[in-house]
Amino acid sequence: MNRFKNKVALITGAASGMGRATCVRLASEGASVLAVDVDESGLSALAKEIKDSGGIIETRLCNVARKEECVAAVAAAVEIFGQLDTLANVAGIVRFHHTPEIPEDEWNLVLAINLTGPMFLSQAAIPHLLKTGGSIVNVASNAGTMGQAYTAAYCASKGGLIQLTRSLAMEYMKQNIRINAVCPGGTDTAMNTSIKFPDDIDWSLIEHYTGSRGMAPPEDLASAIAYLASDEARTVHGSIFAVDNGLTTG
């Protein structure tokens, strides 16, 4: 497929996991990609892989918790490639705590990366996406629709991202832009495999969150993001798209 020929995509969280898989997928389908992350070595490895495969990619260090860096990343995409067609807000973090023990700085960090960053990136990107008839794809989580023990900050941020998606979709209902979200369940990424759990948690409260079918590979989420960003999804707007192996069906 060549669904993204002559299209430009800005993808956050690009150095690993779902963000990396999304960069590889969109580049393989013809997109020019600006990949952003705080992990310089991960970005370098990604760029080499995509360029060796004949794809087009530029990278930029960006902490999405900072508004000025979000604005600069969008400006860089347009300056380098001349336009912007897709914003994929993939960057995210999760922290597990007993709720009374959540440190203030970690609460603020989780909200900043998972919710505030996508807001500021969308704010900067929308004027350019309106020119190209482009789209925003936010990566939320099933934790934002069903709740998850010991992750109050994460659930709040992902639930907020779902509502941000819906709010923007309503605001731009009559204009030439599409805004959707994917809600993955357990996914086999570095973020999930490196989680630190607090002592004495009740495992029965969280063991079912991976579902009976187990963890999904990040490439499956990249496929969903690619679909929502493509012209094949031209009538999909304001969708909250579950990709969680059926975890939220019950």
Model confidence pLDDT, tens digit, residues 131-154: 999 999 999 998 888 888 889 999
Lowest-pLDDT range, 61-75, 169-183, 191-205, 211-225? 191-205
Which residues contact residue 74 at a Cβ distance below 8 angstroms, ignoring those fewer than 6 apart? Answer: 10, 84, 87, 121, 124, 125, 128
Look at residue 198 in the predicted model and tell me its pLDDT.
Answer: 77
- Per-residue model confidence as pLDDT tens digits over 60-101: 999 999 999 999 999 999 999 999 999 999 999 999 899 999
Report the C-alpha gap between 84 and 47 in whole angstroms: 19
Active-site position among 154, 172, 209, 227: 154
Assign 8 a pLDDT band (cuts: 50, 70, 90): very high
- pLDDT band with cut points at 50, 70 and 90 for residue 102: very high
Q: Catalytic residue at 172?
A: no
Task: List pLDDT tens digits, range 211-222.
Answer: 555 666 889 999
pLDDT tier at 105, thresholds 50, 70, 90: very high
> So what's the pLDDT on residue 38?
96
Compute the half-sphere exposure of residue 122: CA atoms within 13 Å on the CB side of its CA. Answer: 28
Tokens at 115, concatenated: 């919710």
**What pTM did the predictor assign?**
0.92
> Which CATH architecture fits 8-249?
3-Layer(aba) Sandwich (3.40)
How many Cβ atoms sit within 10 Å of the Cβ of residue 232?
12
Domain ranges of the chain: 8-249
